[in-house]
Amino acid sequence: MVMNNLLKTLEEKNIQLPENVYDVLTNCKSLSVFSTTEELADASTNGKENDEFSVKYDVPGKGEYTEAIVHRVKNGISANYTEAYMRRRDPGTMSIADDHPSDKKRFNEKYGFEFPSIQQETYEWLKNQDLACFFYFAGRKNIGSTGIAIAPANAAFFAMGLSMLQQIVAPADLAENTDMKSVIFVAPVFRHTHFNGKQVVVHNRTEHVHELYSYNLYPGPSAKKGLYGVLLTEGEKEGWVTAHCSAVQSVSPYDNVKTFMHEGASGGGKSEMHQHILREDDGRVLIGKNQVTGEERFITIPRFCSFNSVADDMAFCHPTIQKNNGKLYILDAENAWFVRVDSVNEYGDDPHLEKATINPQEQLLFLNIDTVPRSTALIWDHIQDEPGKPCPNPRVILPRNNITNIVNDPVSVDIRSFGLRTPICSKDDPSYGIVGLFHILPPSLAWLWRLVSPRGHNNPSIVGTGAMESEGVGSYWPFATGKRVTHANLLLDQIIKTPRTTFTLVPNQNIGVWKVGFKPQLLMREYLTRRGVAKLRNDQYQPARCSLLGYELNYLTLESSKIPTRFLKVYNQVEVGTEGYDAGAEILQDFFKKELQKFWKEDLYKTGKRIIDACLSNATIEEYNEIVPMSYQYSFNQIEDYEQSNFYQEYDK
């Protein structure tokens, strides 16, 4: 009856389901069609009357296996995985099952057998289950496309998370003649039977539908990043980018307004760009703590900037929202935010987020938060991976309409920063932790940083080695299905055509031997909101000792408080010196040279080849600026001057 009603609604709207979707839904054990997130929340514990539910499956050869324990709590649904491994995204989840152009590993070369065999097994397994399905719109404000999700009914918590991240659409609300552009098949048992317990997400790009096969129940690689891949594939075809970024509109005490777009690999500080700076009990702000001597340095800031949130992790750089004024325009690409709360360790660490999650307007989904049924889920109560070791990746899915002062329309970007997790660096143990409080990057270097996108030190979001690894173009390469060079060209074109957006580089965790957390990007936000890059004095910055770091600051004063130069120029730290700094610079340069080899392809823009060649030749800042000019950001009075310049008209594709 449920399927008949659904088919009748779709027929009235002239909407056709893909053939494989129709086959699964019409032949399954039973079907529940959901129209709202609230309905999925009720189903997450197998009924609103139940406080606790175990999500478990019969695994051939292994018996019954429990994937997650779900609690109904006062502020929503709390789900905890039984395996510590399942509490973080595995960066190696993606494989490509089709034969369309891709630089990613094909399914058969990664797993040693052809995909169609397991594809058919997946359909047959789903047909033997009680299923849940719903429609979603991946994107916002008519940018994106409609799809359908199919999952086991007992995994309703997973479906709930997906319905929040990508807005659920009731069948009755589907527009006439809607095309199903994507589908997610969720079959968690296969990670045990075919993939040695690992998280696996398979992309199969057919002529009309982008199919996702999610063989796990962690939303990160599928419901979030998997559908991010769908948007990136759409952008590849049409020539636009969905940036991996957060964004805030910052307002100074003197009514200056600056929009910050913060990019970077997982753990690079995107969610933290929305955080308020915490004061010590005496009102001061801790800059950092020396990990060798124990010394602490503070700064006094009478009033902080206020800010309005724009985006948390993904933003459209779509041609329909761009304006011809030399700045990049972005629009949040998500309906809800997948917020990591590992930095909230006790009450008061983030009062605004605590308030939004303790008293939400609607039910939230908590992951890796220690709860009991009917309690209030508290974002500082992180579940333990093992005794004494809290999970580094506690999460909450927070709908945009639960966030105060959120910006719903496109915004122009003033400062485009890039975040890097940096380890401690000293002359005795050198590392790439040589980045100062923040650096100014010429456009050519800004492009290189996005091509390489170092994942960095001690990443809390993913399963990894802890060493520096590359997430690649724009830091979204782990989620893209196509060719690296396609995205490299898109990003270079974007950077050249938005000359009034300024680029910075900012570290987090450590500056030399000083532990700083995410203070650098928050202090950068405070300073540049008040001043902006264009108002820096000529003697305030100079080429960095390591040319990959662009320009370093000679001094910085924030509300009459001077930032010590040891935080601006790491080689001024006695524990580092030029010896430790130069050794760290060599580590960084070697890493860039190794990673950039992947982009040296025939179809890379010639301007891009010049930039990469400059890096391989240890170019100076001046040489980078000769390839893509930087001076226009300060000297051109009208953006038309740049657009009519020989460079803009003639840069070589």
Same domain, 158 and 251: no
* Residue 474 covered by a domain: yes
Q: Is the pLDDT of residue 636 over 50?
A: no
Q: Is the pLDDT of residue 66 over 50?
A: yes
pLDDT digits (tens, 9 = 90+) for 204-220: 999 999 999 999 999 98
* Residue 398 covered by a domain: no
Q: Which two tokens stand for residue 552?
A: 């370093």
Tell me which of 178, 211, 238 is where a domain ends: 238
CA 110 to chain centre: 25
* Residue 284 covered by a domain: yes
Same domain, 498 and 524: yes
pLDDT digits (tens, 9 = 90+) for 325-367: 889 999 999 999 999 999 899 998 889 899 999 999 999 999 9
Same domain, 261 and 135: no
Q: Which two tokens stand for residue 215?
A: 């063989």
**Which strands form 52-59's sheet, in the order they lie side by side?**
52-59, 63-73, 76-81, 364-367, 395-399, 336-340
Q: Is the pLDDT of residue 637 over 70?
A: no
Q: Is the pLDDT of residue 640 over 60?
A: no
Q: Is the pLDDT of residue 323 over 50?
A: yes
Is-contact 377 78, C-beta < 8 A? yes
Residue 449 corresponds to which amino acid? W
Same domain, 149 and 177: yes
- Of the pLDDT bands very low, low, confident and very high (cuts 50, 70, 90), residue 645 is low
Least confident piece of the model among 79-83, 415-419, 633-637: 633-637
Average pLDDT over residues 151-178: 96
CA 617 → CA 333, 611, 623, distances in Å?
Answer: 38, 10, 10
Whole-number pLDDT of residue 632: 47
Whole-number pLDDT of residue 634: 45
- Of the pLDDT bands very low, low, confident and very high (cuts 50, 70, 90), residue 481 is very high
Same domain, 174 and 270: no
* Residue 146 covered by a domain: yes
Q: Is the pLDDT of residue 638 over 90?
A: no
3-state secondary structure at position 262: strand
3-state secondary structure at position 614: helix
3-state secondary structure at position 403: coil
Same domain, 454 and 585: yes
Tell me which of 238, 259, 287 is where a domain ends: 238
User: Which is higher by pLDDT, 547 or 639?
Assistant: 547
- Of the pLDDT bands very low, low, confident and very high (cuts 50, 70, 90), residue 649 is low
Q: Which long-range contacts (CB under 8 A, 24 or more apart) does 600-603 make?
A: 601/484, 601/485, 603/485, 603/489
Whole-number pLDDT of residue 419: 96
* Residue 387 covered by a domain: no
Query: Which domain CATH number covers 278?
Result: 3.90.228.20
Residue 72 and residue 48: Cα distance in Å, rounded?
Answer: 8
CA triple 28-34-37, angle to 5 deg:
140
- As for how many domains the chain has, the answer is 2
Residue 160 and residue 397: Cα distance in Å, rounded?
Answer: 10
Q: What backbone phi and psi angles, to 5 degrees, belong to 176?
A: -60, 145
Q: Which two tokens stand for residue 555?
A: 């001094």
Same domain, 493 and 631: yes
Same domain, 225 and 99: yes
- Of the pLDDT bands very low, low, confident and very high (cuts 50, 70, 90), residue 648 is low
Q: Which two tokens stand for residue 73?
A: 């709590």
pLDDT digits (tens, 9 = 90+) for 551-580: 999 999 999 999 999 999 999 999 999 999
Same domain, 214 and 300: no
Same domain, 432 and 300: yes
Q: Which residues contact 388 (CB under 8 A, 6 or more apart)?
A: none
- Of the pLDDT bands very low, low, confident and very high (cuts 50, 70, 90), residue 650 is low
Q: Is the pLDDT of residue 644 over 60?
A: no
* Residue 446 covered by a domain: yes
* Residue 126 covered by a domain: yes
Tell me which of 222, 238, 254 is where a domain ends: 238
**Could you give the count of Cα atoms lying within 13 Å of 480 in the half-sphere of its Cβ?**
27
Q: Is the pLDDT of residue 444 over 80?
A: yes
Average pLDDT, the chain: 93
CA 257 → CA 263, 324, 412, 531, 533, distances in Å?
Answer: 20, 20, 11, 10, 13
Whole-number pLDDT of residue 635: 44
The beta-strand segments (E) located in 300-388 are 306-311, 314-317, 329-332, 336-340, 364-367, 384-386
Query: Which domain covers residue 196, as residue numbers?
Result: 2-50+90-238
Whole-number pLDDT of residue 462: 67
Query: Which domain CATH number covers 192?
Result: 3.40.449.10
Q: Which two tokens stand for residue 473?
A: 């173009």
Q: What percent of the chain has pLDDT over 70?
A: 96
Q: Kindly tell me the sign of the dihedral angle through the C-alpha atoms of 305, 309, 310, 313.
A: positive
Q: Is the pLDDT of residue 309 over 60?
A: yes
458: left (phi over 0), alpha (psi -120 to 50) or beta: left
Whole-number pLDDT of residue 595: 96
pLDDT digits (tens, 9 = 90+) for 451-462: 999 987 777 766
Same domain, 216 and 272: no
Same domain, 508 and 617: yes
Q: What percent of the chain has pLDDT over 90?
A: 86
Average pLDDT over residues 603-607: 95
CA 293 to chain centre: 35
Residue 110 and residue 98: Cα distance in Å, rounded?
Answer: 13
* Residue 534 covered by a domain: yes
Average pLDDT over residues 624-642: 66
pLDDT digits (tens, 9 = 90+) for 117-134: 999 999 999 999 999 999
Average pLDDT over residues 193-199: 96
- Of the pLDDT bands very low, low, confident and very high (cuts 50, 70, 90), residue 466 is low
pLDDT digits (tens, 9 = 90+) for 216-270: 999 988 889 999 999 999 999 999 999 999 999 999 998 889 999 999 988 899 9
Whole-number pLDDT of residue 534: 74
Whole-number pLDDT of residue 106: 97
Strands 329-332 and 411-412: antiparallel
